[in-house]
Amino acid sequence: DTDDETGIATKTRAKPKRPSQFKVLLLNDDYTPMEFVVMVLKRFFGMDMEEATRVMLQVHQKGVGVCGIYPYEIAETKVNQVMDAARQNQHPLQCTLEKA
């Protein structure tokens, strides 16, 4: 052909890594009131009553559930918001991160 390619592969460009995503997980416990968990899901995860109730019940029944999937910094902020709200209300509710 007519161009200057040598056929030698070069790797000079950075791989376009998409930012890694993290699941925000909610854990079940025996003491946090169901209404509080629903409130948390509505306030911090933008869920409506129906979705918040569905996720809360899933956590209640299965032990763990996904509140949402976000880039690291946002996921971290959500975990902190949930943990602060739980602490302020003296509920043992636990929220954590997991790589998606």
Which of these ranges, 11-19, 30-38, 72-80, 82-90, lies near ligand TYC under the rule CB under 6 A? 30-38
For ligand TYC, the closer of residues 22 and 26 by Cβ is 26
Give me the least distance between CB of 17 and ligand TYC, in Å please. Answer: 32
The tally of CA atoms less than 13 A away on the side-chain side of residue 21 is 7
Give me the least distance between CB of 14 and ligand TYC, in Å please. Answer: 40
Please report which residue ranges of the chain form alpha helices under DSSP H. Answer: 34-45, 49-62, 72-88
Nearest to 32 by CA among 12, 68, 60: 60
Please pick, from the candidates 21, 23, 28, 81, the single residue that binds ligand TYC as defined by CB under 6 A. 28
For ligand TYC, the closer of residues 12 and 88 by Cβ is 88
- Let me know if 84 is exposed, middle or buried by CB neighbors in 10 A (0-12, 13-18, 19+): exposed
For residue 84 the two structure tokens come to 């602060």
Q: How many residues bind ligand TYC (CB under 6 A)?
A: 13
Determine if 56 is a binding residue for ligand TYC (CB under 6 A). yes
